[in-house]
Amino acid sequence: MAVETLIGASTHVEGSLRVQGSLRVDGRVTGQLSVDGRCEVGADGYVEATVSATELIVAGQIAGDVEVTGRLHILSTGSIVGDVRTRVLVVEEGGTLDGRCLMAKEGGSARQEKEKNAAPKDAAASQPA
């Protein structure tokens, strides 16, 4: 698959970045990153941001919370420090995830699963006595 948007090794993007289609990060991104499609963080890429994507492949480093509606693949050189929400998680030997992981069931997003699990089971139970 051809990459539509590339953040090169000498590039630093700061702020809120929204991408339609595919993105490859070989440089640095700081802030918030939203990709409606496939996002790849190259071996030299560094992302210090809240990340959301349809699919995410990590060969570099991410520092921040991650939400992936499809598949998250952490390669042997990749690392994520932050909480992860995804439907499918693959971590190769050598890859690291330092944070919590919430995986959604089929038919619902991870966010919907978290909100459903956080909702009080009984409205009466949440009322003060």
CB-based contacts of 115, cutoff 8 Å, min separation 6? none
**What pTM did the predictor assign?**
0.80
Please give the Cα distance from 44 to 22 (Å, whole number): 18
Q: What is the pLDDT of residue 113?
A: 53
Q: In a structure prediction context, what are the per-residue pLDDT tens digits for the chain, which is 129 residues long?
A: 688 999 999 999 999 999 999 999 999 999 999 999 999 999 999 999 999 999 999 999 999 999 999 999 999 999 999 999 999 999 999 999 999 999 977 555 545 555 655 655 555 555 555
